[in-house]
């Protein structure tokens, strides 16, 4: 190859590498909406289950006709 051509090709490769590095950095900087939605839905589900169980009084069984009743 000619020296000028190799310089142009090397400059183009460097531009492509810099562009891909900037794109990777931008992609890692913003949160993934899918991941955020999964975490939010899991926390909401767990929280609603905890609130649902604690919302009403705990029903204890009646001890009628229980053989070891004191």
Contacts of 63 (CB under 8 A, 6+ apart): 69
Contacts of 49 (CB under 8 A, 6+ apart): none
Report the percentage of the chain scoring pLDDT > 90.
Answer: 23
> What does the alpha-carbon distance between residue 10 and residue 4 come to, in Å, rounded to a whole number?
10
Instruction: Identify the DSSP state of 67.
Output: T
- What's the pLDDT at 37? 76
Residue 13 above 60 pLDDT?
yes
Average pLDDT over residues 39-68: 71
- The pLDDT tens digits for 23-49 are 988 887 766 666 667 888 888 887 777
Which has more pLDDT, 16 or 45?
Answer: 16
48 in helix, strand or coil?
A: helix
**Contact assessment for residue 63 and residue 69, using Cβ atoms and an 8 Å cutoff:** yes
């Amino acid at each position: 190859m000619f020296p000028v051509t190799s310089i142009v090709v090397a400059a183009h490769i460097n531009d492509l590498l810099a562009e891909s590095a900037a794109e990777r950095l931008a992609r890692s900087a913003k949160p993934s909406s899918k991941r955020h939605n999964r975490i939010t839905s899991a926390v909401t589900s767990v929280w609603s289950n905890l609130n649902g169980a604690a919302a009403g009084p705990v029903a204890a069984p009646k001890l009628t006709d229980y053989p070891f009743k004191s």
